[in-house]
């Protein structure tokens, strides 16, 4: 039967990919993703995973190799972080618009310059509009579970899209955590073999990613948008099925003491677990504080987010990326956009923090909440504040 094992989360991802029985892994090592692909290279070299491991010369090549592999109908996995994700950038659009399912874990990292190998969400936000399904996880178990779900979601005939699973670089990728792995037979039942409907095959030649004149390009983009939006139902269905089989449940927007809270904090990724500690403490002191965590970043869960925050007076959003010269944090900006048309909506206060591996402790989350309430009551002439920055 399934048992809990202590394992580094990066290695656990490798084990999950092995359980998913991936056919091809094409990847280039980059901190803090390296242990993921190192472990997969070992699994393939040891014969524990019967897959092609393609050691490419760059991330641009990694993603390009993944396109070809997915296009012939092979179950495909890669992983990257930070600058690597940036180097893949143009190919990411090709994967989604050619409707090629593949799974990529991103060990979220800051962007240069100055060089930082540590965690934040700058890399994620730069690929926000690439048309991938994007899921955030908060701990090792969620990572393993969602890597398995990502294959099932992406390969579903109604979806056929690439999926990114975002985990915080170092904060999560390098943690040793107790993780329950499902049995191979359970995974095999959960994850049917991948069969691409129109694969590259010499018996029935097709052309993928062909030229589009102005007369047809808009139609291709509309089809892509409708498809990504519709994928949300399949994401929900998959998480529902996963919950029934394995007893762990996932939602596009996760709640923590949020239902009756006057003040809500909104976070994404691993910092959410720290924020929960703060909510526990403040609740213990009789404060009406709760937390909502955005798990499904794309397609954006508009209905769920509106429902989750509608009764709050103040909503404090923490971004771990900065949109330079713009409205501050990209997440806060999207939350504001989602709520703009609502008759009943909280005041939305934006903070940017946790950049380039800067910690936010439970005590500092309390400061964020208190400062957010202060801004909400007294107002501010700024669009957002960078938390913890030395003035």
Partner 1 sequence: MTKPEGELTWKDLELGSIVTEAGNASQYKTGDWRSEKPIFDSGKCIKCGLCYIFCPEGCIEQNDDGYFEANLFYCKGCGICARECWPGAITMVPEEE
Give residues in contact with partner 1 (CB under 8 A): 97-100, 160, 197-198, 204-210, 212-213, 215-216, 219-220, 222-223, 226
Q: Give the integer Cα–Cα distance in Å for 169 and 175.
A: 10
Shortest reach from residue 255's CB to partner 1, in Å: 36
Q: Are strands 263-267 and 314-319 parallel, antiparallel or unpaired?
A: parallel
Shortest reach from residue 95's CB to partner 1, in Å: 10
Q: Which is nearer to partner 1, 203 or 260 (CB)?
A: 203
Q: Give the integer Cα–Cα distance in Å for 168 and 216.
A: 39
Shortest reach from residue 209's CB to partner 1, in Å: 8
Q: Give the integer Cα–Cα distance in Å for 350 and 335.
A: 10
Nearest to 108 by CA among 36, 177, 26: 36
Task: Report the DSSP beta bridge partners of residue 256.
Answer: 291
Shortest reach from residue 98's CB to partner 1, in Å: 4
Please work out, in degrees rounded to the nearest 5, the angle formed at the alpha carbon of residue 242 by the alpha carbons of 67 and 304. Answer: 85
Q: Which is nearer to partner 1, 231 or 331 (CB)?
A: 231
Shortest reach from residue 277's CB to partner 1, in Å: 44
Q: Which is nearer to partner 1, 209 or 326 (CB)?
A: 209
Longest CA–CA separation in the chain, Å = 69
What tokens does 76 get?
Answer: 């495909």
Q: Which is nearer to partner 1, 199 or 327 (CB)?
A: 199
Shortest reach from residue 234's CB to partner 1, in Å: 15
Q: Which is nearer to partner 1, 129 or 374 (CB)?
A: 129
Q: Which is nearer to partner 1, 158 or 310 (CB)?
A: 158
What H or E segment, with its residue span, contains residue 275? helix 271-284
Q: What is the CA radius of gyration of the chain?
A: 21
Q: Which is nearer to partner 1, 97 or 376 (CB)?
A: 97
Shortest reach from residue 228's CB to partner 1, in Å: 12
What tokens does 42 get?
Answer: 């070992």
What tokens does 94 get?
Answer: 């090709």
Task: Report the DSSP beta bridge partners of residue 4.
Answer: 180
Shortest reach from residue 105's CB to partner 1, in Å: 23
Q: Which is nearer to partner 1, 208 or 236 (CB)?
A: 208
Alpha carbon distances (Å) from 85 to 60, 263, 373 = 9, 35, 36
Q: Which is nearer to partner 1, 217 or 326 (CB)?
A: 217
Shortest reach from residue 243's CB to partner 1, in Å: 29
Contacts of 323 (CB under 8 A, 6+ apart): 125, 329, 330, 333
Contacts of 286 (CB under 8 A, 6+ apart): none
Contact 181, 18 (CB under 8 A): no
């Amino acid at each position: 039967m399934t048992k809990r094992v202590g394992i580094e989360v990066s290695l656990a991802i490798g084990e999950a990919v092995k359980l998913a029985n991936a056919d091809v892994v094409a990847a280039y090592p980059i901190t803090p993703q390296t242990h993921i692909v190192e472990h997969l290279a070992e699994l393939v070299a040891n014969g524990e995973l019967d897959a092609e491991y393609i050691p490419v010369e760059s991330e641009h090549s990694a993603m390009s190799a993944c396109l070809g592999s997915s296009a012939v109908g092979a179950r495909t996995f890669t992983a990257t972080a930070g600058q690597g994700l940036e180097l893949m950038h143009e190919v990411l659009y090709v994967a989604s618009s050619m409707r090629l399912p593949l799974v990529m874990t991103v060990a979220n990292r800051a962007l240069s310059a100055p060089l930082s190998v540590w965690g934040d969400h700058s890399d994620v936000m730069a690929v926000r509009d690439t048309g991938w399904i994007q899921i955030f996880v908060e701990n090792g178990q969620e990572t393993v579970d969602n890597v398995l779900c990502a294959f099932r979601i992406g390969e579903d005939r109604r979806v056929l899209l690439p999926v990114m699973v975002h985990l915080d670089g170092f904060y999560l990728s390098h943690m040793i955590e107790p993780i329950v792995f499902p049995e191979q037979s359970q995974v095999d039942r959960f994850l049917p073999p991948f069969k691409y409907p129109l694969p590259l095959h010499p018996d029935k030649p097709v052309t993928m990613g062909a030229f589009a004149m102005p007369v047809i390009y808009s139609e291709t983009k509309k089809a892509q948008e409708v498809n990504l939006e519709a994928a949300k139902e399949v994401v929900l269905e998959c998480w529902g099925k996963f919950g029934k089989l394995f007893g762990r449940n996932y939602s596009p927007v996760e709640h923590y003491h949020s239902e009756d809270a006057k003040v809500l904090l909104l976070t994404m990724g691993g910092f959410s677990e720290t924020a929960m500690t703060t909510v526990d403490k403040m609740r213990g002191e009789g404060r009406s504080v709760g937390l909502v965590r955005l798990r499904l970043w794309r397609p954006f869960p508009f209905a769920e987010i509106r429902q989750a925050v509608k009764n709050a007076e103040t909503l404090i959003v923490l971004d771990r990326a900065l949109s330079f010269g713009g409205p501050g944090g990209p997440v806060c900006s999207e939350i504001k956009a989602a709520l703009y048309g609502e008759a009943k909506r909280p005041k939305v206060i934006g903070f940017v923090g946790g950049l380039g591996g800067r910690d936010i402790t439970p005590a500092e989350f309390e400061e964020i909440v208190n400062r957010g309430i202060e801004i909400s009551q007294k107002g501010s002439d700024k669009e957002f504040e960078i938390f913890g920055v030395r003035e």
